[in-house]
Amino acid sequence: MVCRQCFVECLAVALKETQFVFRPPFGYTITCPHPGCDRCVTDVHHFHVLGDESYQKYQKIATEKLVAMDDQGVFCPYPDCNASFFWEVEDDDGKTSCPECCVNLQAVFVVQMIPLQQR
């Protein structure tokens, strides 16, 4: 058992240093800070204790990591957008639209898309 203050500090460090691990079915989360313990935070809504802004940052990072793992995951190539999403072809011409900026994208862009942290 860990006190709330220590838990909040642990979450803050994990967010600042992007120390998340992928644990199905929970998604991207953090592991227990105690040495030798392989448990993890099973409800990612615990990141709410850091406040709304930090929770949104966690959601963005976790989403980007999940999208980067998937063959259908892409990042919008437009610098002012930075959206990450799963490629869903809207019709048979190999095009889709970015859900954030609504720019039409072609399958050729998929190879060129890289995560925000690597741009």
Mean pLDDT, residues 55-76: 84
Residue with tokens 């490629």: 87
Plot region of 103 (φ>0 → left; ψ -120 to 50 → alpha; else → beta)? beta
User: Using CA atoms, how far apart are residues 14 and 116, in angstroms rounded to an integer?
Assistant: 18
Residue 41, Cβ neighbours under 10 Å: how many? 19
Mean pLDDT, residues 33-47: 83
How high is the pLDDT of residue 119?
A: 46
How high is the pLDDT of residue 52?
A: 92
Mean pLDDT, residues 82-91: 72
3-state SS assignment for residue 74:
strand
How high is the pLDDT of residue 107?
A: 57
Residue 112 has pLDDT above 50, yes or no: no
How many C-alpha atoms does 88 have within 13 Å on its Cβ side?
7
Residue 79, Cβ neighbours under 10 Å: how many? 8
Q: Read off φ and ψ for residue 11, nearest 5 degrees.
A: -65, -40
Measured in residues, the chain has a length of 119
Residue 60 — very low, low, confident or very high, per pLDDT cuts 50/70/90?
confident
Residue 111 has pLDDT above 80, yes or no: no
